[in-house]
Structure 1
């Protein structure tokens, strides 16, 4: 009725949600329980949301959004989803992403960018990040480095510097490209310096997250120096990174046993990704003959000293992790025995360790053979490469272990000629598979000799050249090295072949030099 007072408005109350103190930023805002999976919350991903992560560790409400993996189409079935960068997030599509053309694809963290800086970033995204891990998966390169670069200037600057160095090397082969090459060199220098300046902020701040940023940036620095063939500087970065990693894990109560750091093979945490990446480089350096300050063991579970091997492996990568555990332990044993006085008897515990590692290697091979049918079915594209490569490193490990208690007896290798022949046969198959699968990158940028941060077939071939006394087997190894004009971390195929020839000339009275002379060889320090 006219004159009646209007009914008082109904007061709306917001539904009460429980307070959430832990978890990713997205789950905190939604007031729901987070599963706290890192680097990305599974609850957000399963509902199609963008996980804003845990500070720098995961998600990304910035330029990279909900990235859980950046898939390389050349290594994975075409049916798998690929990630495509947009201005605000990463969305999935079933086609291979084309070259990026808009500067909006760069994280807003960088602000205005030059054409060379933008091109270096997109080259890193499409090319460099996909070749660095080699044929094995690496969450560090496929996920962590991009998420960290979306949040932190130090990582982003180092990432662009690495892309610029790699792109500059690829561009050198182009006609009339001198000015472009100089442009990329300038970008690399400027971005490298900016990364160093940004790291200073983290070191002043201190804490675990600051160390993680430093470690990610350090790994990028290592690859930059390796690409520039500055091996001593790369080794210095590796040593500093290993020490920093040890300090961080011990300071935060990381799982450790004696002097070793361990990482779970499920690789759920950012720290596990970092330990895996640095441990692979550490093994790489050990195979190269470099002395390392510390040895870190990738272990399948906290009781790493037991080297317990499962009955089967769920992925090739898990099989690789267990083999890495054994390789690290074997080279650790060999290094300790070699440091003994020649007149000293071999302590009993070294003999026991050798016996235990031999048993573990046998268990690894049995588990790998049991897993092969399933692994080959699930990973048909990489199986022809991964299978013989893992078998080769297994064989090399058995030889190294068998000779580890006799470091000064080179004749002991004569009893392993059949194993050396097996390694050559396996590596020849790998080489033929690579050649048959080779495809040029396109007309714009030629396909130069490649670089990968992981181990491939150069170290085992060089091992055969150095240790095998069979002339035929040695020459087959050298011929395969001649066909490897690429680099694997510290290992350069051409350099390794040159050093191998010099060794043969010395041991066989110059017979190889008479047949196939080569120039001087400079071994990196």
Structure 2
């Protein structure tokens, strides 16, 4: 019987820094970077090298697991729970669930068709470090989850056994904790107000989600009062230097300022006074944009300026004076300048203009055309003036029609800001072309979405009511021939802010040229 000498491994230490491919093949890695020659010379893909500290962490984890596995079953050591994190996050497990939901779904829904550093980055970060923000975000996500589950948009998440009533109680509890945390924050001397503005914004969002428009507007007005309040040196809050902030960068500050400007517009459309607050921006001839966000911010300023003029004009006994006409013409020039600049922007490649959603530009065109049309008609006391703008109504409805076509992300049941609903509603009430009008109502009917304080279902009900009241005298005619004389037209529809209210006020023109108001229950003509 022959004997052979058993080969022994050299006593050199085992090398643990080679690439994973060589380790699997059990060959010595030459550790050439970025790819080793052992892999490249044989046509294989080199997977690179793991940092030593990561390897040591993995080794430590394996050793810990081995110790747990070998522990006697008589005295078992509990394994870490599924909710275990290396970095402990604040809050209970339920709170952490809703903070995660906010980051993954709610923030995107609130930012809408545009990129948002505020919703997608800053607020998720603040929720980990500030109690008021965390509790407010948790409450918002709890209510938002109800919307998502009701619309079937949460199919990717496990079902929950929490009832609607329990969900509402939890959200209200978090809301109260957010208020308490904010009051504690404000009780400390010389606290910067940027965080207060952010939490106030979250409170308004929460009330809109809950359908409490009056309370939402109260929070908006409170925030706008703070924003409009000058500092000790006389500088308005939104123009103060960034070094007086604690949580906002210059870009976030600008975005937050424009968000509050759009809140201000929503307030005005629901009957509240416009606050003396408007973000700074240059508009008019020679205007250029480098991104869609720039165009949006510029349009915010224009809409604010136009709406202030409209509010004065519609309440003035004679807005047809030369002064009004000149102001109207000057603002119209700025709208024309915006349109030219935006057309030039949209000729550039998408990657250069930072376009995140093709529906964003359509929304901007919709509100540019809607506001410009309102601007050009507001100085007339006759509803017949709208007949001169059928082409504008057709363009508005066409933009919205394209915007509402099925696409990825179109199933979100809630949007923080105004979208298709206000523009369609205004067109359905002001355009008397029977075909275009019905097209706007049909689009509203198929758009079951909650946009800020606007609810599509309520809006389509009111628009349909206005159509039926106006066309009552010509209802026997074919639809395309139902031209409504001014004596049968509604000058304005006043809708109470409470979404559960079952009636509206119709403002009509009398035979003497004056206006009178009637109460019209919804659902009857």
**Shorter chain as normaliser: what TM range?**
0.5 to 0.7
Q: Deviations over 1:114-168 (max 9, x none)?
A: 3x22221111110001111110223321233233333321111111111111113
Aligned match of 1:358 = 332
For residues 296 and 164 of structure 2, the distance between their equivalents in structure 1, rounded to whole angstroms, comes to 38
Question: How do 1:92-111 and structure 2 match up within 5 A?
Answer: 102=83, 104=85, 108-110=89-91
> Closer, same or farther in 2 for the Cα pair 1:512/1:481, shift >3 Å?
farther
Q: Which residue of 1 aligns with 2:224?
A: 242
> Is this contact kept in 1: 2:264–2:274, CA < 8 A?
no
Deviations 1:348-407 (A, max 9, x none): 54333212111111111111111112153536864531232222212112211111222x
> What do the CA deviations read for 1:207-258 (whole angstroms, capped 9, x no partner)?
351x2222111111111111111111111111111112212x44464359xx
Which of 312, 331, 351 aligns to 1:336? It is: 312
How many angstroms does 1:289 deviate by? Answer: 3.7
The answer (yes or no) to whether the contact 1:134–1:455 under 8 Å persists in 2 is: no
* Residues 419 and 451 in structure 2, CA contact (< 8 A), matched pair in contact too: yes
Q: How many residues align?
A: 392
Q: Deviations over 1:15-45 (max 9, x none)?
A: xxxxxxxxxxxxxxxxxxxxxxxxxxxxxxx
- The aligned residue for residue 34 of structure 2 is none
> 1:25 aligns to what?
none
More divergent stretch after superposition (235-244 vs 170-179): 170-179
The Cα offsets for residues 156-197 of structure 1, whole Å up to 9 and x where unpaired, read as 111111111111333457898563544433321221111111
- Residue 300 in structure 1 maps to residue 281 in structure 2: yes
TM-aligned CA distance change 1:415 to 1:338, over 3 Å:
same
Native 8 Å contact 1:461 1:477 kept in 2: yes
Does the Cα contact within 8 Å between 2:278 and 2:301 map onto a contact in 1? yes
Contact persistence 2:113–2:357 (CA under 8 A) = no
What CA distance in whole angstroms lies between the structure 2 residues aligned with 1:153 and 1:105? Answer: 21
Partner of 2:258: 276
> Gaps spanning 5+ residues in structure 1: where?
1-100, 302-306, 440-446
Structure 2 residue aligned with 1:423? 396
Instruction: Using the TM superposition, give the Cα deviation of residue 104 of structure 1 relative to its aligned residue in structure 2, in angstroms.
Output: 3.5
Task: Kindly indicate whether the alpha-carbon contact (under 8 Å) linking 1:226 and 1:489 is maintained by their aligned counterparts in 2.
Answer: yes
What is the alpha-carbon distance in structure 2 between the residues aligned to residue 255 and residue 352 of structure 1? 29
Q: 1:102 to 1:276 in 2, by over 3 A?
A: farther
Structure-1 residue corresponding to 2:97: 119
Contact (CA 8 Å) 2:228, 2:276: kept in 1 or not? no
Pair 1:161–1:328, CA change in 2 (3 A):
same
C-alpha distance in structure 2 between counterparts of 1:397 and 1:263, whole Å = 30
Q: 1:133 to 1:171 in 2, by over 3 A?
A: same
- Is the CA contact 1:316–1:375 (under 8 Å) kept in the aligned structure 2? no
Q: 1:158 to 1:312 in 2, by over 3 A?
A: same
Q: What SS class does the counterpart of residue 425 from structure 1 fall into?
A: helix
Structure 2 residue aligned with 1:313: 289
Q: Does the CA-based 8 Å contact 1:282-1:295 persist in structure 2? A: no
Larger radius of gyration: 2
Aligned residue for 1:67?
none
Q: Aligned residue for 2:186? A: 203
The partner residue of 2:407 within 436, 445, 470 is 436
Mapping for residues 74-153 of structure 1, pairs under 5 Å:
102=83, 104=85, 108-110=89-91, 113-114=92-93, 116-153=94-131
Instruction: Give per-residue Cα distances to partners, 1:483-522, cap 9 Å, x unaligned.
Output: 1111110111111111100111111118789999xxxx98
Question: Which of 363, 377, 392 is matched with 2:366 structurally?
Answer: 392
Displacement after TM superposition at 1:274 (Å): 2.7
Q: CA RMSD in A?
A: 3.3
SS in 1 for 2:472: coil
Alignment gaps of 5+ in structure 2: 1-81, 153-157, 242-248, 480-493, 499-525
Provide the rounded CA distance (Å) in 2 between the counterparts of 1:476 and 1:136.
27
Q: TM-score, normalization: structure 2?
A: 0.67
Whether 2:396 is the aligned partner of 1:414: answer no
